Structure formats: structure tokens, C-alpha cells
């Protein structure tokens, strides 16, 4: 998939976030610096206060807050989410710290066009602060995960993940968080 994003007409990308938006910012920067042949056309968050929405607005990218209504079925939420993505003619959906489990129907609709940059180290350290948990536990090797399919990885190890040695600089960085 990386090769496809490096050549030709920029790929139209919808980015789904729930929080800070640091992975989103990396995508925006890479696209603006021509290191990635992509155009982020919309950023959608399930949290209205997500800082990533401001990052997108600063970059001139359309934003949308799509919060779940209490009692709303997952399929109904995912249908509204899919409609928003389609309205922006996105060719690729990037889950950049999107903290919702998507329905099989959503995944099927965008099959082969979803990349999940997962913030956790499943199944050992779930959640958004997984790297901090791993460091506190004394882990010396961890994983960096970018999946090409959105699935619930809460109960399985990510077989396509890349082993990454924890460096002193990273340890210092996370101690300061």
C-alpha cells in the first residue's frame, strides 16, 4: 500500500480520530512535504473536544464531529460515518487513534481501503496509553502496529506488527508525560 501512496494522483484520505491527533499531524506533514502522495480531505472525530480537529482546521482540512447518541446502535453510527466519508469521496480511511470498534458492515464497505494505526499494544497493554504501560512494566521490546484492516484486536496479537527496541530517549520522553 505504501508504494501506491507514493506515486500518481494523491490518494484522497479520510482520517478518523478520537484525541490528540499526533498521527494525524504526521500524515498532514508528510502530505504537505510531498513525502506521501495523499490529500487528507476530511478528519472525523467521535469526540468534539479532540485536539486533532483543531490540527485539521489549522491545516485547512474539513472536520466533522460525529458523536454517538446515547443508545444508538453501532450499525447506525457506522452508517452515518460511512456516509460522511463517502460525501468527501475518500479513497482510503485511516484510523489514527480512533477509539471505537467498527462494525463488520463498515469494514466490509471499505475492505482493502482501511489502515488502522493502533495506539495500543494488544493484547498485553490495551488503551491509548499503552506505551507508558509497557515502559512502567519494564518491557524492552514492543510493537509498532499499522494494520491494513480494521478489526477488534483486543483478543489477538498483531502478527504483522514490527518489533521495536525501546530506546533510552523514548523512555525519557514517556517519563515526562
Give me the CATH number covering residue 66: 3.40.50.170
Total of domains in the chain? 1
Q: Which position among 65, 88, 118, 137 bears the catalytic label?
A: 118
**70 carries an active-site annotation:** no
Reduced to 3 states (helix: H, G, I; strand: E, B; else coil), residue 34 is coil
pLDDT in tens, 16-65: 999 999 889 999 999 999 888 899 999 999 999 999 999 999 999 999 99
Can you tell me the distance from the alpha carbon of 114 to that of 175, in angstroms, rounded to the nearest whole number? 33
Domain that holds residue 116: 2-175
Query: Across the chain, what does the average pLDDT equal?
Result: 77
C-alpha grid cell for residue 111? 475492505
Amino acid at each position: 500500500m505504501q508504494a501506491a501512496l507514493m506515486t500518481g494522483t494523491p490518494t484522497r484520505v479520510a482520517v478518523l480520530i478520537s484525541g490528540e491527533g499526533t498521527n494525524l499531524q504526521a500524515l498532514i506533514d508528510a502530505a504537505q512535504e510531498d513525502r506521501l502522495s495523499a490529500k487528507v480531505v476530511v478528519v472525523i472525530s467521535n469526540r468534539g473536544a479532540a485536539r486533532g480537529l483543531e490540527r485539521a482546521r489549522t491545516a485547512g482540512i474539513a472536520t466533522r464531529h460525529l458523536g454517538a447518541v446515547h443508545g444508538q446502535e453501532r450499525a447506525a453510527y457506522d452508517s452515518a460515518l460511512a456516509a460522511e466519508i463517502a460525501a468527501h469521496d475518500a479513497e482510503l480511511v485511516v484510523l489514527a487513534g480512533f477509539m471505537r470498534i467498527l462494525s463488520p458492515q463498515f469494514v466490509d464497505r471499505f475492505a482493502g481501503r482501511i489502515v488502522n494505526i493502533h495506539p495500543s499494544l494488544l493484547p498485553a497493554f490495551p488503551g491509548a496509553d499503552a506505551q507508558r504501560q509497557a515502559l512502567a512494566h519494564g518491557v524492552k521490546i514492543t510493537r509498532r502496529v499499522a494494520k491494513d484492516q480494521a478489526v477488534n484486536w483486543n483478543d489477538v496479537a498483531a502478527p504483522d506488527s514490527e518489533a521495536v527496541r525501546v530506546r533510552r530517549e523514548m523512555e525519557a520522553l514517556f517519563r515526562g508525560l
